[in-house]
Structure 1
Amino acid sequence: MTKPVILGVIGSDAHVVGITILEQALEASGFDVVNLGVQTSQDEFVEAAESADAEAVLVSSLYGHAEQDCQGFHQRLADADLDVTTYIGGNLAVGQDDFEETRRTFREMGFDRVFDSETDPEEAIEALKADLDMRSTEAERESQTLSA
């Protein structure tokens, strides 16, 4: 059984279509999705991840101010003692010319994966399955090591 994943649009962004499509695709792939909706604060993401015992947090932003909205996000997750896989996707920067530079910025901020607004939901879902399988495998190895 898959643990929940948290999905929402961060900051003052009110774009809902992308997360609605992603929610449906994630659920069809067997994920238990907690959709926080739009205009979600960092604290709401953290609280939802804690209460749902989530494995992943997926952040969406389409209005171009994600870097501002995500400053300190991973510190909040760490302060809550949460070890979750984090993804971000959308139109993350105003006037975004070089997405590789944008990707590098968000990876440096702590996001495990960074997607542009043209990413097919299936691509993100396949990456999430692989990342969560990898985390499960690491946890299983650690558990076996501790019990040996």
Structure 2
Amino acid sequence: MATKVILGVIGSDAHVVGITILEQALSASGFDVVNLGMQTSQEEFVEAAAAHDAEAILVSSLYGHAKQDCEGFHERIEEADLDVVTYIGGNLAVGQDDFAETRAFFRELGFDRVFDSKTDPEEAIAALRADFDLHSSEDERERTPSLSA
């Protein structure tokens, strides 16, 4: 069964070309993509992830206001009792001079991966594959009884 991912542009951002390209690349790589489009609220991401039993939420933002748009996002995910990986990418902050600081900010908010606007879709796809291989291994360890007992 294909990994289900939710994709969308958060907040008031109306940039849609990037997620269209990402949707095509993800689909071509075997992912099952639900594209919420532009101007997606936090609630819409969470509701879609729950409704589709998604394994990942990919948030895009190009207009520089993702810091404001994503405050409280992971708290909503926790309240919905979702077990998803979360990625964010794009032009995430107005005047973004030091992307390392921007990455640290979004990691602190709870995002598993943070990408800048120059990231190739293949990099995000490789990261998803790596993260799901890791999750599969963790799930398998939890289901396999320990022999040391």
What is the aligned partner in structure 2 of residue 59 from structure 1? 59
**1:87 partner SS:** strand
User: Which residue of 2 is the match for residue 86 of structure 1?
Assistant: 86
Q: SS at 1:13's partner residue?
A: coil
In 1, Cα distance between equivalents of 2:103 and 2:22? 20
Structure 1: gaps (5+ residues): none
Mapped to 2, the partners of 1:78 and 1:13 lie a distance apart of 24
2:40 match:
40
2:68 corresponds to which residue? 68
Q: Secondary structure at the match of 1:145?
A: coil
Write out aligned runs for 1:132-143 (5 A): 132-143=132-143
- Retained in 2: the 8 A contact 1:4–1:56? yes
Q: Is the 8 A contact 1:6 1:48 kept in 2?
A: yes
Sequence identity percentage? 78
Indicate whether 1:119 and 2:119 are aligned.
yes
Shift of 1:122: 0.2
The letter of the residue matching 1:11 is G
Q: Check the 8 A contact 1:57/1:85 in 2, yes or no.
A: yes
Deviations for 1:110-132, whole angstroms, at most 9, x for unmatched residues? 00000000000001100111001
> Partners in 1 of 2:106 and 2:24 — Cα distance?
25
Deviation at 1:145, TM superposition (A): 3.0
Q: Which runs of 5+ in 2 are unaligned?
A: none
Residue 128 of structure 1 aligns with which residue?
128
TM-score (norm 2): 0.96
TM-superposed deviation, 1:26? 0.2
Q: Do the aligned partners of 1:3 and 1:53 also contact (CA within 8 Å) in 2?
A: no
Alpha-carbon shift at residue 69 of structure 1 (Å):
0.2
The TM-score with structure 1 as length reference comes to 0.97
